[in-house]
Amino acid sequence: MRRRVALEHCVAVADEKDMRQGRPGAIDGPAHMHRFSGLVQRAVGSPGTGEHPQLLSGRRRVCGNGAKYGQRRDGGGGWKTGKPHHEDYLLCKMDFGIRNKIALVTGASSGIGRACALALASEGAHVVVAARRITELEEVAKEARARGAARSDAFAVDLEDPQSIARLGQTIRERCGDVEILIANSGGPKPGKYSELKPPDWEVGYRSTLQSFLLLIDQALPAMRRKSWGRIVALTSTAVKEPSPALTLSSTFRAAVVAAMKTLSIEVAAEGITVNCIATGRVATPRLRELYQTDKEWQQAQGEIPAGRIAQPEEYAPLVAFLCSAPASYVTGQTIAIDGGLTSSLL
């Protein structure tokens, strides 16, 4: 079935299947409008009543080519006006209000960090990517520019080394400016049960998972407070909601991250700064392959997810980008799970 999709700057037609899968193939409009980063809103209206559906925001959109909602292709290249179908979808491109904002994304050489960096690039942010592997980072920075980043920079950092984090902060201030958006992301600590861990494991887990996030915030927060604007998003794990015996270090230190973020969110809420966490579920990365090494284990892990599949890194980026936006100014102190329904906790 075909659905009419109205964009803020163009009108396009897409298959429902294409919409669900984010494929741009059926889109008829400017190439940069392929991005499905806006909100998909179902028009409110009843079939047969003649009622003109309204956007959920209460505003009617006029497209850049002059077509109003309710108009359809007449088959001759023009537009005809008729009653909108009650199942028409409106895809309204939201202005995230972060163009030229300096956004630091750590752990950005691959996986969720990379996906988040590219999502922010698509919104016109000045994207700064950091991780250990500079070659991969430079490729991400190059792609960020192609996606629409106002500018992109890549710097190496070792998140287990406090001095490396301090040097990163100083370098960014000197070469780029003040960090206004921080996506704190790091690789997961060593898996294992409590009885399998040694004191050095706890030390490394603390430095990489908790201390690194706190030190990154210390580098960015003063400028955010001075400007009365900032966005901090910490990528954690669903282990903060349901601790896993096989992931003792992650369950411990990521829960501490959430506690620190919650207290900080309260402290800076009136200063135009939001602080949130994403509790990531099972996502197709080398880290997950480390946890589920055989095909049987992988299939079992996938079967436990109500959605019936392992997530792709790109499925995390849209929500992270929204939390960094101007419209998300009232969302703070939250830990939001993206896990295909895996966690059974109420909160």
pLDDT tens-place string over residues 136-171? 999 999 999 999 999 999 999 999 999 999 999 999
**Rounded Cα gap, residues 88 and 86, in angstroms:** 6
pLDDT: is 241 or 8 the higher one?
241
pTM of the model as a whole: 0.74
Whether the CA torsion 193, 195, 201, 203 is positive or negative: it is positive
Question: Which of these, 137, 227, 213, lies nearest to 178 by C-alpha position?
Answer: 227
Question: Is residue 292 scored above 80 in pLDDT?
Answer: no
pLDDT, mean of residues 302-323? 90
Residue-wise pLDDT tens digits, 73-85: 444 444 444 444 3
pLDDT: is 87 or 202 the higher one?
202
On average, the pLDDT of the chain sits at: 79
**Rounded Cα gap, residues 325 and 179, in angstroms:** 14
Confidence of residue 93 (pLDDT cuts 50, 70, 90): low
Least confident of 43-47, 258-262, 310-314, 338-342: 43-47
Which range among 23-27, 288-292, 304-308 has the greatest average pLDDT? 304-308
**Rounded Cα gap, residues 337 and 296, in angstroms:** 25
Question: Is residue 11 scored above 90 in pLDDT?
Answer: no
- Residue 218: what are its φ and ψ, rounded to 5°? -60, -35
Question: Is residue 6 scored above 50 in pLDDT?
Answer: no
Q: What is the pLDDT of residue 68?
A: 41
CB 320 within 8 A of CB 278: yes
CB 217 within 8 A of CB 182: yes
